[in-house]
Structure 1
Amino acid sequence: MATNENITVTKKKTTFIKKVDNENIANTSCDLIDSENEDTIIEQNRKRRREILEKFVTSSHDDKCESAKKDENIDESASGNDKIVNQIRSPRIKRDMFSEDDDFAPINVFFFFFFLYNLELPLVNLYVSEHVTQDNEYNPQLIDNWDDSEEYYNMRVGDIIDSRYTIKRILGQGVFASVVRAHDNKNGKEDVAIKIIRNNDLTYKSGLKESSFLKEINDADINNRYHCVKFIRQFMHKGHLCLVLESLHMDMRGVIKKYGKHGLDMKVLMSYSSQLMLALRLLEKLGIIHADIKPDNILVNEKKNTLKLSDFGSASKVEDNDATPYLVSRFYRAPEIILGIPYKHGVDIWSAACTVFEMATGKILFTGSSNNEMLKCFMDYKGEFSAKLIRKGKFKNQHFNYNNNFLLNKKDELTGRERVIEICNTHATKNLYSALKKSANYLSSQDDRKLRQLKDFLERILVYDAHQRMSILDCLKHPFIQK
């Protein structure tokens, strides 16, 4: 029997290869590899790993695997193994962690864990945590994946942005941005609203324009008397422009839905109307057109006694406005916008009147499904347009013929096809006072008098010709608003 000094340490390694995918790899029994040379064992293991990699690594990793195979000086230490594992864990194809579809080819599960076993790496290193802190700029799990497919910022309640604001609630999402309520951790946990602009050039420029308007408005209203939302600051986060605004309780549409299904109380309505006109008065002084006044863009505080005008994303200076038939949300769109007539602050006054009617009744005043139907809704209350006003319209041919007769585009109920109906005489068929009174509950003599004042207030605003429309200053002096 040989002495202990002459005994060579023999290592045994078991390899078991099963049939993978549809290739005819024969099942083999455990093959004991005995060798007296440790270098020979290492070389055999290296060749086997290369063969497995060449067969099973997906096409998305071919380039990296090929470069590894050509390198004759690959280190078999832990760092070398890490390189191979990274080829599997880090594909070249950029993936969106929020998408439902995988952009990478599947890897055979058996092979993957078999491969890890041979490398003798702990599986715990491959565990990906579900708890992600979005404030970490270098988090490898989220790099380039902050946005959804429409370039909105992906957020979650509890996330911290700008190392300062903890998201408390997601309030909503509009065309240009998402809005969240957050705690300001540097200012006594005070609540703020943060408008997170979509991540593209168009919305970024719009956001910068909005912030400039907000700064101008705040500078002109130091004492906070004109009921426009207060602007606090702005910052960039993950490629998104963020505007920090004062936080208010809810929007006017929510107030109407909750408290005014049949109209708000008359005193509340008078107060809200006055505050809204004060906001428009400040914008008029500054030469700013809001261009999107509606209940959704009017906010109230928790006590419901203060109103603030918000969302200046569509705002412009008077001298910069261009004729476009789709400015302002459709139900609140003034006739000069639809017809393509040059416009000024009158478009905001018209929208405000539509909003006041909605607060008074709980119903939308003009409900056309298109610009053409909106004109028909106007005429149901106000009668026909004058030929002089029609001739000024850039888009008049879309709605009127050469005789200035209205062309109503209507869908045939039987065929479903669009057809044009020429209407020669368009007379008013609806009464504004009846519409107001229909939605009101039992009225005292004093409330009925105020309702008639409201009717006069709205009729003097809802005039086709913006030059004959009641001015904002006259609105503030009107008996309906005056107590």
Structure 2
Amino acid sequence: MAQFRKFKTTQNDEQQQNLIPPPPKELKKPGYKGRRNQAQPTVAFPEIQREALPEVTKNFESSILKGSSTPRRAATTSKTPNQEEKHTGAYILSTQSNQLTKFEQTEILQYQRVSYWGQNATKKYNISDTNFGYDDNRGDYLGVLKDHIAYRYETQSILGQGSFGKVFKAFDHQNNCFVALKIVRNKKRFHRQGLVEVRLLETLRKNDPDDISCVLKLTHSFYFRSHLCIVTDMLSINLYELLVRFNLKGLKLNYVKHIAVQCLNSLCYSHNLNIIHADIKPENILLVKENSTHIRVIDWGSGAFVNQTIYTYIQSRFYRAPEVILGMPYSIEIDVWSMGCVFAELLTGMPIFPGEDEHDQLGKICEFLNMPPNHMIQKASRAGEFFQSGKLRSKHRPNSKSIQQHLKGQPADFIDLICQMLVWDPKQRATPHQLMKHPFVVNNEYSIQMVGQLGQGAVTEADKAKIKEPETENKFQAEEMGFKKPKSGTGSQLGTSSVQLPDLKKI
């Protein structure tokens, strides 16, 4: 202890006591508390090093120009980062680490560009839970409002959610705009179908460079925390929500005409590409802006290319084509049937065939269209469920109603258009191209650019083969029980949705 006290005394004290300083090899740095009592190999006295450092820093810039051998690390400490460097994950980590979770402090380094890191969010994730606390037991991404998605998007609100996952309204901090961001459930089945949706959306986008087809526009897609994410344009309310605003009493005829022509335009384009939507309904047709009549057809998650149809249970019940109900092969004609049901509903405010189950659904169709042709019944795999000895098993009275009576007071050309769409035999049903030549469409007074043959022949069998088909599943969509419409807001930009997708961290 006495020896230690002598070492801590000042140089003047040592001189006064006539003590001989210890040899340099046993000198300690001031304040050094390690076990080894050795000086730095290149510096004899610590005071010299402290005096030299400020001079090196001050003259650093000129010494570099003169080819000085000053270590490069000293050079970078005084460099001011440019704007691009300030958006790197490493820079954000070094300056804003207190705003990142422990998981994010590692994750952020993988991103070349960081536009937003959730600095405005209250992050409450339990890292020990499913997928580091970011998923619930269903595989849905939990998300926190104001948090980031892929260090670029800020979640603002939930537009809707369903069996496929969630759709967020998000702000793109890189492009300064709002988008709809769909996060598919972290389950194999939904992920697989999501990849199909991405391929369909990419096909629809690349063949419509002028954006005249009235279909949902894909911005891009990527993976984030094991979830497939699909980014599309931010749109307004869907047609069902619009009907609710009019108390489910139908829309004005001129409004319906404008919407109907655009819907047929969209249908014609997708069929040019041999793409089946397979879930046409008011909830999947959205206004571009709330006070506009311009629409987009969304939710291509149930879709497929022609000859790649694999599901036997598709379409929402009210809009389900009879060939699907009867278990027959189906193709693009099912979209024409669904769209005809939508047009009738826009005029009256209520579904024309509001079946409580499939038996009731088919019975209601028979009330308007009489019995299906015998050749359809003979080829239907499910005919025995609905018919017995050529008669309906249900108590519905075939041919007891008519479309003309149901739409009484509406223009004759519009009623005729709907009648050509709601035909039992899909081979006798009007095609999208035939409908585009119907007097109702030809005589419309709206300046809408028609797609015509846009995209026709663009998709080859080789293109279709790029999609790996999911395993066959008899029940793809949950059966709706009874005449119940979704709550307001449900269905807005909802969809399910290959391709090797780019990781956003590399964009």
Pair 1:273–1:135, CA change in 2 (3 A): farther
Mapped pair 1:158 → 2:146: yes
Q: Which runs of 5+ in 2 are unaligned?
A: 1-97, 108-122, 445-507
Q: Distance in 2 between matches of 1:136 and 1:233?
A: 26
Q: Distance in 2 between matches of 1:340 and 1:357?
A: 25
Pair 1:133–1:399, CA change in 2 (3 A): farther
Q: CA deviation at 1:136?
A: 5.7
Q: Distance in 1 between matches of 2:247 and 2:105?
A: 45
Cα distance per residue 1:129-188 (max 9 Å; x no partner) = 99979966669833522112221111222111110000111100122121011111000x
Show the counterpart of 2:159. Answer: 171
Q: Distance in 1 between matches of 2:385 and 2:99?
A: 55
Q: Which moved more, 1:146-155 or 1:284-293?
A: 146-155
Q: How does 1:58-457 map to 2 (within 5 A)?
A: 141-142=126-127, 144-187=132-175, 189-259=176-246, 261-302=248-289, 303-322=291-310, 324=312, 326-401=313-388, 403-408=389-394, 426-437=397-408, 448=409, 451-457=411-417
Show the counterpart of 2:94. Answer: none
Q: CA deviation at 1:333?
A: 0.2
Q: Which moved more, 1:254-263 or 1:201-210?
A: 254-263
What is the letter of the counterpart of residue 434 of structure 1? Answer: Q
Show the counterpart of 1:471. Answer: 431
- Structure 1 length normalisation: TM-score? 0.64
- Paired residue secondary structure (1:381): helix
Pair 1:130–1:406, CA change in 2 (3 A): farther
- Paired residue secondary structure (1:192): strand
What is the letter of the counterpart of residue 370 of structure 2? Answer: G
Q: Which moved more, 1:159-168 or 1:426-435?
A: 426-435
Cα distance per residue 1:331-371 (max 9 Å; x no partner) = 11000001111111110000011111111111011111111
Q: Distance in 1 between matches of 2:342 and 2:103?
A: 39
Pair 1:137–1:334, CA change in 2 (3 A): farther
Does structure 1 conserve the Cα–Cα contact (< 8 Å) formed by 2:139 and 2:187? yes
What is the letter of the counterpart of residue 215 of structure 2? Answer: C
Q: Distance in 2 between matches of 1:304 and 1:133?
A: 46
Does structure 1 conserve the Cα–Cα contact (< 8 Å) formed by 2:420 and 2:430? yes
Pair 1:230–1:136, CA change in 2 (3 A): farther
- Structure 2 length normalisation: TM-score? 0.61
Cα distance per residue 1:426-445 (max 9 Å; x no partner) = 531123233223xxxxxxxx
Q: Which moved more, 1:195-204 or 1:150-159?
A: 150-159
Does structure 2 conserve the Cα–Cα contact (< 8 Å) formed by 1:183 and 1:190? yes
Does structure 1 conserve the Cα–Cα contact (< 8 Å) formed by 2:363 and 2:398? no
What is the letter of the counterpart of residue 393 of structure 2? Answer: L
Does structure 2 conserve the Cα–Cα contact (< 8 Å) formed by 1:159 and 1:167? yes
- Paired residue secondary structure (1:328): coil
- Paired residue secondary structure (1:312): coil
Q: How does 1:17-56 map to 2 (within 5 A)?
A: none
Q: CA deviation at 1:260?
A: 6.2
Pair 1:136–1:192, CA change in 2 (3 A): farther
Show the counterpart of 1:48. Answer: none
Q: CA deviation at 1:243?
A: 0.4
Does structure 1 conserve the Cα–Cα contact (< 8 Å) formed by 2:373 and 2:425? no
What is the letter of the counterpart of residue 472 of structure 1? Answer: P
Does structure 2 conserve the Cα–Cα contact (< 8 Å) formed by 1:292 and 1:314? yes
Cα distance per residue 1:428-481 (max 9 Å; x no partner) = 1123233223xxxxxxxxxx5x52222111111111000001111121222223
- Paired residue secondary structure (1:469): coil
What is the letter of the counterpart of residue 252 of structure 1? Answer: L
Cα distance per residue 1:293-326 (max 9 Å; x no partner) = 11111111113221101111100111111361x2
- Paired residue secondary structure (2:335): helix
- Paired residue secondary structure (1:244): strand
Q: Which moved more, 1:130-139 or 1:288-297?
A: 130-139
| C-alpha RMSD of the superposition | 2.2
Pair 1:164–1:134, CA change in 2 (3 A): farther
Cα distance per residue 1:402-446 (max 9 Å; x no partner) = x222112xxxxxxxxxxxx6x8xx531123233223xxxxxxxxx
Pair 1:141–1:375, CA change in 2 (3 A): closer
Q: Distance in 2 between matches of 1:133 and 1:247?
A: 32
Mapped pair 1:461 → 2:421: yes
Runs of 4+ in 1 over 3 A off after TM superposition: 129-143
Q: Distance in 1 between matches of 2:104 and 2:226?
A: 13
Show the counterpart of 1:440. Answer: none
Q: CA deviation at 1:264?
A: 1.1
What is the letter of the counterpart of residue 178 of structure 1? Answer: K
- Paired residue secondary structure (1:222): coil
Does structure 2 conserve the Cα–Cα contact (< 8 Å) formed by 1:134 and 1:160? no
Does structure 2 conserve the Cα–Cα contact (< 8 Å) formed by 1:134 and 1:161? no
Q: Distance in 1 between matches of 2:103 and 2:209?
A: 35
Q: Which runs of 5+ in 1 are unaligned?
A: 1-128, 409-420, 438-447
